Amino acid sequence: MSTEQHLDTVAFTAMEHGTKDDYVLVFAHEQEQLDTQADRVMDWLRQMDGASPYKISRLDHVLQSATRAEADGADTETIVCALLHDIGDIIGTANHSQVGAALLRPYVSAENYWVVEHHGLFQGYYYFAHYDMDPNARDRYKDHPYYDACVRFCADWDQNCFDPAYAHKPLEHWEPMVREIFARNPADVFGW
């Protein structure tokens, strides 16, 4: 670690000693990170274009998902959620659904957040039986208001998106939508 002090760094070594000027600097840096979030998301999507045990790459999978959602008339936010539902595979494979949902949470509706967060469990409907697990494990949420939305998401825009013959739109098609969603002010979404 460098001991060199930069001109634009906080004065404190423990947060309890920070001044307002320190935190103005910190929050300015955080705003820069927020302003470039879409760039990082696009980079993570590109990282999904590689070897896969499926007949297609993980990128092709999410491109198919977004293409199907758009073809079915989904709104921009839902299409972006379809595109990013597996983004967690890049930065948190063991709990990819929750990681993807956490990334999206400040920018999307409660319903879309919940669907992305739970899609991994709901996908189990299609394969859990092969592992002596309950394919209906999703039914513990049967009374949840977003249960049906998650069932539909998995049936229409996830489990069927591994087809090398399906013609999907390219990543560039989705970039303006990704940028639109990540340009949202989290305060507006949460009502702060």
* Helix H or strand E encompassing 26: helix 20-35
Q: Which of 158, 161, 170, 178 is nearest to 42 (CA)?
A: 178
pTM, to two decimals? 0.89
**What SS3 state is found at 42?**
helix
- Return mean pLDDT, the chain: 92
pLDDT at 189: 60
Please spell the DSSP secondary structure of 85-125, one letter per residue.
Answer: TTTHHHH-GGGHHHHHHHHHGGGS-HHHHHHHHHHHHHHGG
Q: Which of 140, 138, 163 is nearest to 63 (CA)?
A: 163
Does CATH number 1.10.3210.10 belong to domain 35-183?
yes
Q: Whole-angstrom Cα distance, residue 55 to residue 57?
A: 7
pLDDT in tens, 63-105: 999 999 999 999 999 999 999 999 999 989 899 999 999 999 9
Per-domain residue ranges of the chain: 35-183
Q: Whole-angstrom Cα distance, residue 159 to residue 166?
A: 13
Helix axes 58-71, 147-157, angle to 10 degrees: 110
Question: Would you state the torsion angle of the CA atoms of residues 105, 107, 110, 111, taken in this order, to the nearest 10 degrees?
Answer: -100
- Pair 130, 117: CB distance under 8 Å: no
Q: Whole-angstrom Cα distance, residue 185 to residue 107?
A: 7
Residue 164 pLDDT exceeds 60: yes
pLDDT at 83: 98
**Per-residue burial over 107-144, b = 16 or more CB atoms within 10 Å of its CB, e = otherwise:** bbeeebbbbbbbbbbbbbbeebeeeeeeeeebeebeee
pLDDT in tens, 21-73: 877 777 777 777 777 899 999 999 999 999 999 999 999 999 999 999 999 99
pLDDT at 121: 98
